[in-house]
Amino acid sequence: MSRRSTAIDVILYLHGHRTSIPGARRSIWAYLKHKCWPLREHLEATGKAAVLVAPTLGPKSEPGTLLDAGGLDRYLQRVLAVSAPYWQGGTAPAIRHLILAGHSGAGQPMRVLANSRNRAAELVKEVWGFDCTYSARQDADANEWSSWAQRHPASRLCIYFVPRAPTQDQALKLKGRASRLNLSNVSVVGSGARPRDGIHQHFWVPIEHWRDLIVSSPYLRR
């Protein structure tokens, strides 16, 4: 990515629970170095010029102040401010497109952010949900995500679930609502992730689809 860029595309990734996988319990750095989540390496391999932003949430995906009124805007402003020395002239570029991505327990805060009144929420062009549709009470995931997609017809919503897992119910209800509402910007897919190295397939879902999503995104440039 050129240091002369005046506008950048950002992928904001919210991780799942860090309590189940050894080596991923301390911070986002430990998480990203774990074999389940080489997100940085796969992004770099695509050649797409996107900036990956991945905050350390609580051990069970607690978002802290991120969900406060204006919390997303303040967080991204701080990230840009910290990055300012990297850019030519010491001025951080503006965010052009924002992609929200979340795994597992991060599904609920990701949904809240997408539907929030933050200015940055209007920049969201894609949402990538990785086995994260657990919010079955009042069909929150199915109803709120379909409403979001209906309000943002130019943005894409991509949801992956593990078949026969607890996330399947809301994922399939979302798929049904999207079909009835003719929402062509919604994709709901049973993930082909498989268990590996003694680790449940749930933890492999993000990296199973990560690279293909980046490559196919019309909002990320080279």
Residue boundaries of the structural domains of the chain: 7-216
**Closest Cα to residue 128, out of 38, 47, 28, 11?**
11
- At 25 the pLDDT is 64
In the prediction, which pLDDT does 5 show? 79
User: Do residues 21 and 199 lie in contact, with contact meaning Cβ atoms separated by under 8 Å?
Assistant: yes
Q: Which residues contact 20 (CB under 8 A, 6 or more apart)?
A: 203
What is the rounded CA–CA span in Å between residue 5 and residue 40?
A: 20
Separation CA 202–CA 194 (nearest Å): 8
Residues in contact with 141: Cβ distance below 8 Å, sequence separation at least 6, in sequence order: 107, 111, 133, 134, 135, 170, 171, 173, 174
Please report where in the chains the tokens 């910007």 appear, as a residue.
Answer: 185
Which listed CATH number (3.30.590.20, 3.40.1400.10, 3.40.50.1820, 3.90.230.10) goes with 7-216? Answer: 3.40.50.1820
Nearby residues of 164 by Cβ (< 8 Å), 6 or more positions away: none
Strand order in the sheet with 7-14: 50-53, 7-14, 94-103, 124-130, 156-161, 186-190
Backbone angles phi, psi at 5, to 5 degrees: -60, 140
Q: Residue ranges of the chain with pLDDT lower than 70? A: 1, 22-25
139 within 8 A of 147, measured Cβ to Cβ: no
Cα separations (Å) of 214 from 14, 43, 131, 190, 204? Answer: 16, 7, 18, 19, 17
162 neighbors 178 (Cβ within 8 angstroms): no
pLDDT in tens, 17-38: 888 775 566 788 888 999 999 9
Residue 23: predicted pLDDT? 54
Instruction: Return the pLDDT at 194.
Output: 97
Residue 51 three-state SS:
strand
Chain segment 49-73, per-residue pLDDT in tens:
999 999 999 988 999 999 999 999 9
pLDDT of 91 reads 87
> According to the model, what pLDDT value does residue 222 have?
77
* Cβ atoms of residues 14 and 56 within 8 Å: no
Q: How far apart are CA 212 and CA 159, in angstroms?
A: 13
The predicted pLDDT at position 133 comes to 98
